Every structure is written in C-alpha cells, then in structure tokens.
C-alpha cells in the first residue's frame, strides 16, 4: 500500500505549484494509494511492505514526532523534492520557509528514495548533502512533472487573435519578477505597441503588496493590463485560449510548470534563460531571454507580439513537441514503489 501524504494539500485553499503536484499525483495514484493526514506522527504506522510518499515540505517543528517516525518506521519512505530556493534566494523567500529548509533537506536524507522535479533541483539537493558531509543518502532520480494542468486534451491548433495578448501565471512575489515585467510592458505601451497583459496569481502575504499596488496604479493608466487573483483552472484555460504568448520572467524555479502548461495549451512562452528552464525550453516553442536584461526582454516581447512568422514557428513547435503528463508521472512512481 502507498500512503500518500496530504497533510497540507488536503486543507489548502489555493493551488500553488506544490499543491498542484500533490493533487495531480493523488489523481493519478487513485485506487493504489491511500491519502493520509495523520494528526500526530507517533500514531503513524507502516507495515513492512508499505510505502509512505510525500510531495510536501515539512520540519520537526511543524510535525512533532516526524523524525522518530522516519527513524523507527517499519515500511519504506519516498519523497518528491522541489527546490532549494529558500536557501539560494533567502532575501525573497518567506522567513518561515528559510528557517525550515535546512532541516527539511536533512530529513530528506533519511528517506529510502527521492525524486527531484528537475535535474537542476537534483543537483541542488545532492550539493547540499555533500556540503553537510552526510555519510548516508538515498538515490535521487528526476521525475518529469505533467504539463496537462487542467486534465483537458492537449491543444494542437491555435487560432490567430485580433488584439495580441500576453499571459503571466504565478503568485505575486519578487521571485516571479512581475515588477520587471510591468516595467518592460509599460515601456512598450509608451512606445505605442498595443497588447493586453493578463497577470494570474494570488498575492504573497509577505512580499506581494507592493506588486499589487503597482498593478493597480498601472492599470489605471493603461486599460490593457488585467489582474486575475483567484482564477480557477477553467478561467486560466480560457485566458490561454486568447493568449498569443505566455511570459515567465522568473528569477528562480524548481521545475517551471508554467512553461510546460503554456506549451500544453499550444501557447509559445517567453521566459528567463535559466538552467532549470532550459530543461523544458530545449524542445521548442519557447523564446528564452537573458534574466533581467530589459533591452532583450523588450525586443523579445515585441517580436513575439508583432512577427507573425516567428510566432507561427514557435506555436508549431509548442503544439507538436513531446510533453510529459501527470499520468506518466504517476506511472513512474507506481512502478518504482511496487519494487
């Protein structure tokens, strides 16, 4: 039996990347995994042939008794590792996450198997363990996350739209770099380029307020800017249907699901040229741009908005390239946890 951890995901009221991973894998493992949300970890029990699988973040402080559970378990344990962003970018990460992360990474070393969501995040985890001098660590493989965020069939045909529209999906916070995107967009609007920019994402309660104020101020000046805070997957699907391109100017990612999800919808993606995102952009349909290079970003957005030949090429790549699915991710886990 697979005991699938939904301690946080089961009560979450939003769909962050971590929550989406838990929800979509739970769907894919349904019938072969039992969702668990143990109130106290001293009551958590595994039989010798059981697996405990988690895609959540945790610490001994948040889950009293969790360390003892790992040490005394009868069954086996597996985890999905997302990223080390709280350690690599502490100045733009929730203080609680920064404080939790070193202990979380050490606890991962006590698991029997770990899957990282990208090759880049795998190297971050292994590097931390080497830095800590841990003598015993589990094998770490890469798990390709699904592009099919909305459970809908893949879009393979894109219709041209009269007014070009850009879509950026992600929580409002410095890491997602919406301030930079707003600055670039304002300059393009000031130069007479006509387009719409749709931002989708909840507000980070620790860092997001200044970004929201900037959005409101700029939207009063330009009617092409639209903000959607609590958009459902259906609403996001509708926005993708009218988007000429998606925009991901992020500073750091564990995987970069918005890139994959855009490609699933047949929408080309203009994104930061980060090593982790290259794992997804190399197959086509994307226009990588140097991080925070305003001139290059202005040129790239102008091109994707105005050059029909380039856009048609990117759209053709987006709709034809191979993309991973959540069913395949669940099957990878299912097969491995049966051994």
Q: Cα-Cα-Cα-Cα dihedral of 122, 120, 17, 28, to 10°?
A: -60
On the CB side of 164, CA atoms within 13 Å amount to 19
- Strand ranges (DSSP E) for 76-143? 76-81, 113-116, 140-142
Is 81 strand, coil or helix?
strand
Contact 277, 288 (CB under 8 A): yes
- Strand ranges (DSSP E) for 42-162? 51-54, 76-81, 113-116, 140-142
- Cα separation, 175 vs 177, in Å, equals 5
Contact 256, 248 (CB under 8 A): yes
- Cα separation, 19 vs 7, in Å, equals 11
User: Quick one: tokens of 323?
Assistant: 């993309």
| Domains delineated in the chain | 2-146+325-336 (3.40.50.2000), 165-320 (3.40.50.2000)
User: Along the 339 residues of the chain, how does pLDDT read in single tens digits?
Assistant: 999 999 887 555 556 778 889 989 999 998 889 999 887 888 788 999 999 999 999 999 999 999 999 999 899 999 999 999 999 999 999 999 999 999 999 999 999 999 999 999 999 999 999 999 999 999 999 999 999 998 889 998 876 665 799 999 999 999 999 999 999 999 999 999 999 999 999 999 999 999 999 999 999 999 999 999 988 999 999 999 999 999 999 999 999 999 999 999 999 999 999 999 999 999 999 999 999 999 999 999 999 999 999 999 999 999 999 999 999 999 999 999 986
User: Quick one: tokens of 41?
Assistant: 């970890």
Pairing of strands 140-142, 113-116: parallel
CA 285 from chain centre, in angstroms, equals: 18
Closest by CA position to 119, among listed 102, 96, 142: 142
Contact 76, 52 (CB under 8 A): yes
CA 245 from chain centre, in angstroms, equals: 18
Closest by CA position to 247, among listed 237, 257, 258, 255: 258
- pTM, 2 dp: 0.94
- Cα separation, 29 vs 334, in Å, equals 7
């Amino acid at each position: 039996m697979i005991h699938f951890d939904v301690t946080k995901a089961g009560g979450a009221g939003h769909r962050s990347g971590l929550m989406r991973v838990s929800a979509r894998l739970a769907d894919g493992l349904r019938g072969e995994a039992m969702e668990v949300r143990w109130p106290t970890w001293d009551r958590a029990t595994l039989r010798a042939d059981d697996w405990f699988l988690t895609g959540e973040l945790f610490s001994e402080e948040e889950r009293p008794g969790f360390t003892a559970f790992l040490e005394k378990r009868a069954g086996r344990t597996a985890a999905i590792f997302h990223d080390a962003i709280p350690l690599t970018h502490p100045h733009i990460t929730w203080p609680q996450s920064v404080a939790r992360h070193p202990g979380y990474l050490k606890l991962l070393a006590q698991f029997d198997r770990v899957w990282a969501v990208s090759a880049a995040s795998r190297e971050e985890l292994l590097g931390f363990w080497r830095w800590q001098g841990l003598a015993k660590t589990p094998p770490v493989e890469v798990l390709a996350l699904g592009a099919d965020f909305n459970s809908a069939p893949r879009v393979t045909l894109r219709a041209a739209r009269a007014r070009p529209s850009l879509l950026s999906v992600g929580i409002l916070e410095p890491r997602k770099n919406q301030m930079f995107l707003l600055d670039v967009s304002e300059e393009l609007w000031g130069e007479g380029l006509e387009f719409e920019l749709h931002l989708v994402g909840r507000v980070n309660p620790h860092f997001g307020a200044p970004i929201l104020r900037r959005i409101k101020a700029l939207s009063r000046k330009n009617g092409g800017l639209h903000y959607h805070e609590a958009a459902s997957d259906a609403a996001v699907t509708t926005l993708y249907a009218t988007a000429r391109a998606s925009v991901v100017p992020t500073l750091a990612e564990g995987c970069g699901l918005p890139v994959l999800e855009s490609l699933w919808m047949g929408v080309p993606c203009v994104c930061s040229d980060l090593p982790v995102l290259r794992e997804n952009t190399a197959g086509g349909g994307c226009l990588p741009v140097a991080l925070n290079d305003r001139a290059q970003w202005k040129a790239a957005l102008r091109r994707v908005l105005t050059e029909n030949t380039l856009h048609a090429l990117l759209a053709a790549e987006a709709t034809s390239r191979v993309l991973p699915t959540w069913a395949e991710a669940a099957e990878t886990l299912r097969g491995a946890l049966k051994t």
